[in-house]
């Protein structure tokens, strides 16, 4: 049997050399000539003797002749002499000698035991000598929960950590200096000077234009005056020539009559010359600039012209709050600006930049509102649920915690709720319809209690209306007239009753063909349209109760009726159909077949949206449609306060809808935009 020799060969670049070559990969202790003697395994890995003895001792009786390499897990046969018989690692020993010659470092020793190297416990963060210390670190009895390394290695590691941290600090300081220098550069190259010069030059140009206009006015007036005076001079010269001609040769005249006649002519001429003796125009041209308040206004305007704005906003302290978001509902993010000292800014004008993106990277349109008090509102309308990321920067630097990651929910829950089952002031019993008035009151048809509950739009109780056509607990429909009175339909008595807000009856009427009238609506002319479920028809009446017409007979369990923007009649059963005010069919918004589902209340909000309650096997919802296109937009599922048989509903002016939740004996308010 031939013996084999294990030869270590390795090429190490001195620049790449580190002390990890001299550290046992198992216990992380530095190799030495004692218990941590480096031993070379057949798999070419080096492990200290202490670790190998511990591994071999814990290997059990069955595998006493072998153990596994702690690094590569290869099975290593144990020689007869045990771990001590394994060959030493020549390479590691040579490196140890090399390091001792190169560095000649001083290994920290105990002051009382000069041959004992100091140790460091990373778990306890303390330095100790085995011989001086008692307890967990004494006499080598420290438990396996303590990580103990030579103090010399700990110093090296801490030095490396120190250098690394110092390097990080220097890098950050360099970046900080770079940022500050960038701001200084921006200050030096600010466009404010150019903008000031340009705006002031515009004022200067306007003043120069006015100067030229005034000079042109003076020139025009001067030329007009000069022309008049020149014309007068021409007349004077002409008259002068005539006089000279008349007087020429008088010295030779001997006829007295001729001389007398000329004297008479000259006398007349003298009388006529008085009209041209004075200049017909004057040389008065005076420029005035204080004849009105324009000069003072200009001076005042120049004092107020332009302003220089500065900001002490510190982006790293600015904050933003993102409220709970639901798809299809407008959401507002409030941004508050702070200065370096943490004081809220009192003015706006900061260059806030918003970048909002959906999880797939698509940009979401936002609208930034500067409140001019140090706060900014960011409004956006998430079209779909999912993850969103919002980046907010001021002066091209991110604010605190930016970017913000938030989730837009697919659920829409009520903003408020009122009522419980019962007959008290705060209770309902089968609420089936409601209507909101322009005076801020909400009238809820509390059918089971034969009354109308009057609330504010914020659900504060005001009172009740009794004995208003709701006898026999049969009031099923309610509508508001143009003169602020209420119309109630009673399906048992088949009467339509008009009452005022105090409950006084104004009029009552019915029709012989009524079978089961269940809802009504009033158009812009005051005409009353009554949906009759039993007759499967819609009846029209004048405000006085005079019958006008009826149409239909093909409806399937009518549940509600409403009026469109052009007085169209909107009727809901399993479908949603639209008719002209004369009853002619126009179109269907929902064309679901018989028995698939049923719509309850329906209302047009005056802003292009049609809302309808719906109940089917999957649950109860408020559905929102585009009235013009008929497209379904989204549903209000009331996820955390489930609707149960929602019926009548009406909208408020602030994109809120109030619905009568018949199954839960309450009313709920939702935001739908």
pLDDT at 592 over 90: no
Cα 169 to Cα 102, 157, 165, 399, distances in angstroms: 31, 18, 6, 22
Encode pLDDT of 464-511 as tens digits. Answer: 998 778 888 999 999 999 999 999 999 999 999 999 999 899 999 999
Encode pLDDT of 101-131 as tens digits. Answer: 655 555 677 777 777 778 888 778 788 887 7
Beta bridge partners of 406: 388
User: CA 388 from chain center: how many Å?
Assistant: 11
Pick the closest to residue 17 from 96, 70, 111 (CA basis).
96
pLDDT at 252 over 70: no
Burial 182-219 (b: 16+ CB within 10 A, else e): eeeeeeeeeeeeeeeeeeeeeeeeeeeeeeeeeeeeee
**Residue carrying structure tokens 């900001």:** 311
Return d(Cα 235, Cα 228) in angstroms, integer.
Answer: 11
What pLDDT score was predicted for residue 4?
Answer: 42
User: CA 634 from chain center: how many Å?
Assistant: 21
pLDDT at 381 over 60: yes
Q: Is the Cβ–Cβ distance between 434 and 445 less than 8 Å?
A: yes
pLDDT at 555 over 80: yes
What pLDDT score was predicted for residue 665?
Answer: 95
**Band of pLDDT at residue 75, cut at 50, 70 and 90:** confident
Beta bridge partners of 646: 661
Return d(Cα 490, Cα 533) in angstroms, integer.
Answer: 12
| Residue bearing the bigger pLDDT, 33 or 398 | 398
Encode pLDDT of 54-71 as tens digits. Answer: 888 877 644 567 888 888
Percent of the chain beyond pLDDT 90?
Answer: 51
- Supply the angle between the helices 256-272 and 192-247 in degrees, to the nearest 10: 160
Mean pLDDT, rounded, for 307-326: 90
Cα 355 to Cα 314, 382, 397, distances in angstroms: 19, 14, 13
**Band of pLDDT at residue 608, cut at 50, 70 and 90:** very high
Among 86-100, 137-151, 159-173, 194-208, name the one with the lowest average pLDDT: 137-151
């Amino acid at each position: 049997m031939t013996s084999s020799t294990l030869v270590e060969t390795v090429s190490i670049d001195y620049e790449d050399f580190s002390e990890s070559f001299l550290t046992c990969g198992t216990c992380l202790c530095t190799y030495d000539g004692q218990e941590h003697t480096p031993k070379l395994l057949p798999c070419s890995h080096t492990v200290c003797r202490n670790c190998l003895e511990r591994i071999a001792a814990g290997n059990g009786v069955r595998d006493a002749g072998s153990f596994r390499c702690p690094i590569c897990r290869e099975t290593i046969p144990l020689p007869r002499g045990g771990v001590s018989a394994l060959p030493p690692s020549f390479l590691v020993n040579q490196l140890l000698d090399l390091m001792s010659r190169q560095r000649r470092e001083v290994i920290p020793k105990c002051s009382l035991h000069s041959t004992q190297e100091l140790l460091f416990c990373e778990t306890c963060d303390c330095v100790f000598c085995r011989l001086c210390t008692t307890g967990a670190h004494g006499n080598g009895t420290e438990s396996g929960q303590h990580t103990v390394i030579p103090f010399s290695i700990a110093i090296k590691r801490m030095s490396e950590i120190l250098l690394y941290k110092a390097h990080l600090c220097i890098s950050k300081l360099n970046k900080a200096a770079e940022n500050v220098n960038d701001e200084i550069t921006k200050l030096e190259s600010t466009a404010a000077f150019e903008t000031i010069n340009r705006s002031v030059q515009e004022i200067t140009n306007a003043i120069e234009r006015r100067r030229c206009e005034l000079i042109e006015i003076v020139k025009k007036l001067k030329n007009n005056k000069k022309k008049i005076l020149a014309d007068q001079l021409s007349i004077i010269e002409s008259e002068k020539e005539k006089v000279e001609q008349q007087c020429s040769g008088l010295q030779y005249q001997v006829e007295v009559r001729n001389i007398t006649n000329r004297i008479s002519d000259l006398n007349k001429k003298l009388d006529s010359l008085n009209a041209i003796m004075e200049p017909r125009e004057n040389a008065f041209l005076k420029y005035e600039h204080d004849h009105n308040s324009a000069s003072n206004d200009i001076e005042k305007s120049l004092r107020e012209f332009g302003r220089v704005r500065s900001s002490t906003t510190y982006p790293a302290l600015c904050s933003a709050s993102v409220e709970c978001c639901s798809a299809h509902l407008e959401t507002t993010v409030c941004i508050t600006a702070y200065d370096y000292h943490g004081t809220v800014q009192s003015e706006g004008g900061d260059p806030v930049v918003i970048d909002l993106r959906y999880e797939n990277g698509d940009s979401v349109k936002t609208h930034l509102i500067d409140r001019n008090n140090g706060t900014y509102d960011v409004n956006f309308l998430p079209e779909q649920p999912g993850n969103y990321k919002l980046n907010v920067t001021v002066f091209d630097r991110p604010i605190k915690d930016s970017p913000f990651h938030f989730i837009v929910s697919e659920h829409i829950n009520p903003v408020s709720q009122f009522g419980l089952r019962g007959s008290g002031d705060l209770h309902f019993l089968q609420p089936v319809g409601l209507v909101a008035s322009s005076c801020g009151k909400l009238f809820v048809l509390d059918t089971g209690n034969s009354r109308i509950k009057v609330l504010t739009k914020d659900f504060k109780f005001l009172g009740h209306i009794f004995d208003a056509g709701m006898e026999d607990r049969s009031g099923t429909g309610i509508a508001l007239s143009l003169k602020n009175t209420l119309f109630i339909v009673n399906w048992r008595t088949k009467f339509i009753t008009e009452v005022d807000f105090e409950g006084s009856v104004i009029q009552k009427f019915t029709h012989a063909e009524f079978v089961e009238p269940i809802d009504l609506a009033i158009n812009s002319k005051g005409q009353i349209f009554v949906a009759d479920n039993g007759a499967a028809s819609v009846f029209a009446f004048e405000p006085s109760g005079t019958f006008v017409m009826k149409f239909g007979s093909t409806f399937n369990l009518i549940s509600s009726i409403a009026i469109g923007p052009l007085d169209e009649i909107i009727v809901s059963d399993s479908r949603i159909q639209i008719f002209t005010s004369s009853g002619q069919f126009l179109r269907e918004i929902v064309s679901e077949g018989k028995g698939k589902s049923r719509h309850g209340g329906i209302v047009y909000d005056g802003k292009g949206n049609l809302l309808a309650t719906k109940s089917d096997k999957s649950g109860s919802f408020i559905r929102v449609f585009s009235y013009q296109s008929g497209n379904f937009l989204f549903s209000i599922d009331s996820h955390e306060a489930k609707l149960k048989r929602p019926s009548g509903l009406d909208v408020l002016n602030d994109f809120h809808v109030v619905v009568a939740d018949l199954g839960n004996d309450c009313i709920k308010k939702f935001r739908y935009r």
